[in-house]
Amino acid sequence: MIEGHIILTGLIIFLARICDVSIGTVRTIVTVQGRTTIAFILALFEISIWVLVASTVINQIKEQPVYILFYAFGYATGNVVGIIVEKKLAFGIIILRIISRKAPNEITDFLRGKGQPVTVFVGEGMRGPVSELYIGCRRRDLKWILPEVKKMDDQVFYIVEQARDMSKSLRPINTSIGGWRAAFKRK
- Does the residue 14 lie in any domain? yes
Q: Which residue has the higher pLDDT, 179 or 6?
A: 6
Q: Are 32 and 74 in a shared domain?
A: yes
**Single residue among 59, 89, 119 that ends a domain in this structure:** 89
Task: Evaluate whether 123 touches 131 at the Cβ level (below 8 Å).
Answer: yes
Q: Are residues 83 and 151 in the same domain?
A: no
Segment 24-50, tens digit of pLDDT: 999 998 888 888 999 999 999 999 999
pLDDT exceeds 90 at position 185: no
Q: Residue 187: pLDDT band by 50, 70, 90 thresholds?
A: very low
Question: Domain ends where: 57, 89, 121?
Answer: 89
Q: What is the pLDDT of residues 98-126, one digit of tens each?
A: 999 999 999 999 999 998 899 999 999 88
Instruction: Identify the pLDDT of residue 17.
Output: 94
Instruction: Look up the domain containing 153 and give its range.
Output: 93-173
Total number of domains in the chain: 2
Q: Are residues 85 and 126 in the same domain?
A: no
Residues 118 and 102 in one domain: yes
| 87: confidence class by pLDDT, cuts 50, 70, 90 | confident
Interval 8-29 mean pLDDT: 93
Shared domain check, 103 and 81: no
Q: 68 and 47 in one domain?
A: yes
Q: Over range 52-72, report the average pLDDT.
A: 91
Could you say which of 89, 119, 154 is where a domain stops?
89
pTM of the model: 0.65
Query: How many Å apart are CA 50 and CA 21, to the nearest integer?
Result: 9
**For position 108, what pLDDT does the model report?**
95
138: nearest Cα among 113, 119, 157, 166: 166
- pLDDT value of position 169: 57
Q: How many CB atoms lie within 10 A of CB 6?
A: 16
Together in a domain, 169 and 98: yes
> Do 9 and 65 share a structural domain?
yes
